[in-house]
Structures are given as structure tokens and as C-alpha cells.
Chain A
């Protein structure tokens, strides 16, 4: 009983910063609150929700957001494991390399997005300049709806891989080295030791980084806003950007809240799914080990 009392202040705080906005969003989502109602909320009995279900643009944005999230998180995790393994080795100047590698993550997103916009610029950006040496056709990365979204994934990976690398590097340092020595004595090779020792022991760190990054990538806004504004042909628009447009540009707070509340449900489902999946893999792993 006393424990429950002790965590009460924390619970209250969590409710204020987390629970209250979600409830407020839900409340707004069943009201019309826009420039047409003079910004006062009047109940509209689920009209926002019907509109959401029939809004093809919203579903396209959802697909794009999922595509963006899956690609960037998957690639980031793999890359981060590789980088963390490298940074965990003993070599000269390791401290310097470790601190340099965190730089992309330390940069504000808008600044790095502006940088990428310049790098992808046609015809003066460096990528186009390099391509122009080999071919007379330019590739127009940010003008092509089929590849512009890959550019956004690329920029996101560049920025956030260091963050996961850091978490995984911390995880690697908790693995005792004698495990590897014992494994070596049992004549196991390095690759096997990675799959049998490193990866299983990294699991808690992987779970944390995957769930963390899923939530972050799903809400992507600033990167897209600066790099493409959701274009070309709406191909890179994320749910976050659409919610922002509805609130700040169209002054339609009711519908914007509906989008946000729905994406909250979607993201929760996503995280539960990821968690279940990881658990299942772990169980299978442990059974194999036994």
C-alpha cells in the first residue's frame, strides 16, 4: 500500500504531461473547432472520424509514414550494431572517433535537413555534380516521387544511427569478456560468438532502441517539413506533417486532433506488436540455446 502512495507523485506528473493531452485530443476529435466555427468547439458527433476514414490522403500519409519508419529503423539498427562493434574495439584515437561519431545526432534536425536539401539540390548540389561526371542526365532526387522518400530515409538514418550506436555500445560494454574467452576455448569462431553471445545479451538494449526509434520516426515532422514540404506530388508527407497543416495552416483543430489521436492508437499498436515480436524471437532463441 505504501508503495502505491510513493509512486503517486510520479503518476500524477505522468498524467499531467501525457494523459491529459491525449484525453484533450480525444475530446477535440469529437468536436468541430475550426476557423468556420470561430475557433470555438462545438460537438459534431463523430463527423471528424467519418471524414478521417474516408480521407484517402490520410491513408496515403499513413502508408508513407509506416514505410519511412520501417525502412529507417531497420537499417539504423543494423548499421548501429556494426558501428558499435567497431567502436568497441581497441584502437588508437578511439575516444576521438567515438565523440565524433555522435556529431550527426547532436546537430539540430532543421540544420541537417537544410544541409541535405543542399546536397540533393539540382543542379548545384554535390551529388548532382558527381553524377554529371558520369552521365549527362541529372537524377533530380527531390523532384522524383519514386525516390524522394528514399532521400528522406537516408537523411534520417544519417542523423539517428549515432543515437542507437550509443545505446548498443553501452550494451556491449556490459558483456563480460570472459564469456568470449570461454567460447573461444570451446573452439567457437568469432561469427558464432556474435550470434550466440553478443546478440542475445544485447536484446534489452535492442528492444529499447527499437521502441524508442519507432515512436520517434513515426512522428517525423521537422525533417520532412524542411527537406521536401511533403512533396513532390505529396509523396513524402507524414502523418505528423498532415496534422500540423490542419492545425496551423488550415486552423482546423478538430480534424487535426482526430489525426493525432488516431496516430497515437496506431503507434501504440505498433509498439505492442514490436514488443511481442521481439519476445517471441527471444523465446525461440532461448529454446535453441537450451
Chain B
């Protein structure tokens, strides 16, 4: 009897101990940090490494940022993000997304609106250009990380002032080529891909036209659009740009410019940091300005910014927003600008006259200038389609002798059909 009781007591003891210990383990679990997982393209993952390390040290035991390093190429990052979202249960809390993905992702219902999290004064602290491209249907879905604008790089050792108008750019390029100062005049992105749409947006606006009007009317058959396309073709036929420009993306253009073989280049701010490296043969000989435009027309810079969005399925939205705040704080922006040339998004940084920033052979004024005239590409969930249609037709204008007006009409009609299918979404 006693033995039986003892055995029962032991059983009860074991049960009590195990209940207690699970509770204990659970309390231990509470102390393990919340993990905020961010997907970034590889270059951004590398440049934010220090910031993330500091954050994780300061918040040890509470919050931990985990960066997932995506591919280098922009669109491959989107493929990865979309695949994970389609399968459901995406492991990410935050995505670092490109300006053109936002309407698509928001329409697919993948992103959390940030309106309730963002403080009014924080929003007001953004530079004008940085405010663009973060909203869809009047809700904010993205907080800008770094602004990116199309810039015209020019060689200070070959000319005193950069060209202002399209005609000047061709004339100077031809002259420099003829007296053998450079092999090529102007290099840009002419490959059939997104870069070509970015180039065209700047040119069509520079001629006073528009891709889409404010009420989303397609304007690719306007006189200005025709002039813009004509000018792009003329760049090649006049010899101002090499014919091989029609297969250039950003890197090919930079390669030629960096080797000192070209007088002008259209590229993003990242090129500046590359051109400042020791191995660059034209270090210190480069100036930066905005894209050329017709007289009395304001030049335009295509906006290509990156920003953080919180996924709808994230379980730590407020914490995620805190992490975003940290990664886009003033100090973080300064550090990223100094080390990697990332364009700051906070207006105050441009006004501060911070000696450290100005002394670093910087182009802060030029960036601020470009950001003030930055223009986002059409903001619709069907942007990828309409850009694809335009790229195809532009590429045929540049590589075949298809009549320009015919190609533009095709692009115009197809864009109209696509936008109509969306029913003004």
C-alpha cells in the first residue's frame, strides 16, 4: 500500500515538475529577442551591415534585425520577394522595395499601410522628391531609405560648362569626338529593359511632353514625344553615342565612362562613388548635373528610390517600424552618404551645411537639386506592362529603321488598352 502510494506520489511529482519546467522554458523564451527579418538587394545588405550590428548590440535580448541578402540585380529581388509572398507565409517582416514595385505590391494586398505609424513631423522632414513614390490610393505604404535620381555626368577636363539643351549635348559630343579627345560622346542606357524607360522619361519631359498626363492619359503620340524619340535616334545616327549603346545597361555605360572613353554619361548617384575610387582613371575630372532640356523647359530627373515596406503578415509591425526609423535616422543617412554616396532623404541634411559632408568631395548640392526636380514613373499596378511596351518600341526605334511615329503609335495604343483593362485602378 505504501509502495503504491509512493509510486503515485512520484508520478504526481513528475507531472508537477514537468508543468513547472515548461513554464520556466516559456519564460526563458520570452527573453529571446523578437526577430525582424528584412529582405534587401545584396549591395544594400552589405552597406547596412555596420548599422545593423550596432542596433543588435544595443537591443540585445529585445530586438534583433536579421538581414536576408537578396540578389544583386533589382528585378531578381522582386522575383524572390514575389515568390515568397505567393507561397504565403513569407519569412520577411520588411521588404526594401523599388519605387516602381509599390503600386503592384499594394494592389496585390501584400503591404501594410503606414499612415497610422508615421508621425506628421517625420513625414514633413522628408525632402520633396523623397515624398514621391511612397503612396498608393492615398495611403502611405513605404518609408524612403535612399533617393535615387537620374544624373548627367560630364567631364570637367574637356569642357568648361555642361550642355543645357539636347542640341548642345550632340554638338559638344560630336566636336570632342572629331578632335579625338574621346572615343565616344554620350553613353546611356539603351538596352531593352527598365533603364531605357528611365532615360525616355527624362528626355520626353525635357522636350516638354509627358509619358502619361496627370489624369493618366497616354501622350506618346504628342509632338514632344516624337521629338524625344527622334533625338534618341539622332544620338546614334549622328555618332554622338556609339551604336552599341543600344545594348548598354548602367554598368556598361559606367565601364566606358570610367575608362575615360566618353564625355557624358547618364547614370544614378551610385556611379559617383565608383568614379571616386582610386582605380578610376578620371577621378576628380567629373562633374554632375541634371539631364538636358529644351529652352524654357525645366529639366527632369527620373526618380528611382528605394524604401522600406512592412508586410501585411508581419507579426511585429510596430517593432518593424521602429527598425525602419533606426535605419533611416539622420545619423544613419549621414553615414551611408559618406561611405556609399546614398542620397539622403531628409531635407535637414541638405540644409545643415555639415562640414564633414561638404568636405568629402561631395555632390550634395547637385543631388539636392536633382531631387527637387525628380519625377516618378507612372504610378499604376500595371506599370511593368506599360514600361515593357514602351521599351520594346523604343528599342525598335533605336535598332531598326522602323518609322518613329509608327512605333510610338503602337506603344500609345497598347498602353491605352492596358490602362483600360485596369479600369482606372
A residues engaging B (CB < 8 A)?
Answer: 35-36, 38-39, 57, 121-124, 138, 140, 142-145, 228-234, 245, 248-252
Contact = CB atoms under 8 A, between A and B. Distances in A.
Contacts of A36: 107, 381-382, 421-423, 425
Interface stretch (B241-249, B320-328, B337-345): B241-249
Given A121-B252, A140-B246, A249 B399 contact: no
B44 interface: no
Contacts of A39: 86, 108-109
Contacts, number: 100
A122 B244 contact: yes
B79 interface: yes
Contacts of B281: none
B105 to A, nearest CB: 9
Given A138-B242, A229-B193, A251-B104, 5 more contacts: A36-B421, A38-B108, A122-B242, A232-B395, A250-B385
Nearest to B399: A232
A287 B364 CA distance: 83
Which secondary structure dominates chain B's binding surface? helix
Nearest to B107: A35
Interface residues of B, number: 41
A252 to B, nearest CB: 8
B323 to A, nearest CB: 27
A252 B351 CA distance: 45
Closest 9 interchain pairs by CB? A231-B192, A122-B244, A233-B396, A143-B246, A232-B399, A143-B247, A249-B384, A142-B247, A233-B395
Contacts of B107: 35-36, 38
B353 interface: no
A155 B192 CA distance: 20
Contacts of A57: 392
Interface in B171-199: 183, 190-193
B225 to A, nearest CB: 18
A35 B242 contact: no
A233 B392 contact: yes
B249 to A, nearest CB: 9
B400 A145 contact: yes
B47 interface: no
A286 B234 CA distance: 62
Contacts of A124: 255
Given A36-B425, A38-B108, A232 B82 contact: no
Contact of A143 (B75, B244, B382): B244
B191 A231 contact: yes
A236 to B, nearest CB: 9
6 contacts: A36-B382, A140-B246, A143-B243, A232-B399, A248-B82, A250-B382
B108 A35 contact: yes
A35 B104 contact: yes
Contacts of A248: 78-79, 82-83
B388 interface: yes
Of the candidates B252, B384, B402, the one having the most CB atoms from chain A within 10 angstroms of its own CB is B384
Contact of A138 (B78, B243, B425): B243
A248 B246 CA distance: 25
B392 A234 contact: yes
Of the candidates A38, A124, A143, the one having the most CB atoms from chain B within 10 angstroms of its own CB is A143
B247 A140 contact: yes
B236 to A, nearest CB: 9
A143 B246 CA distance: 6
Nearest to A252: B385
B303 to A, nearest CB: 20
Nearest to B421: A36
Interface in B47-83: 75, 78-79, 82-83
Given A140-B247, A233-B392, A145 B381 contact: no
Nearest to B388: A245
Contacts of B242: 122-123, 138
A250 B384 contact: yes
B148 to A, nearest CB: 20
Contacts of B392: 57, 231, 233-234
Given A122-B244, A123-B244, A145 B252 contact: no
B246 A232 contact: yes
Given A36-B425, A38-B109, A234 B244 contact: no
B398 interface: yes
Contacts of B256: 123
A251 B422 CA distance: 13
B244 A232 contact: no
A151 to B, nearest CB: 11
A229 B190 CA distance: 12
A250 B82 CA distance: 11
A72 B247 CA distance: 23
A248 B82 CA distance: 7
Contacts of A142: 247
Interface in B218-273: 242-247, 252, 255-256
Contact of A140 (B78, B243, B425): B243
B124 to A, nearest CB: 32
Contacts of B78: 248-249
A232 B192 contact: yes
B378 to A, nearest CB: 14
B6 to A, nearest CB: 55
Interface string B80-123: 00110010000000000000000010011100000000000000
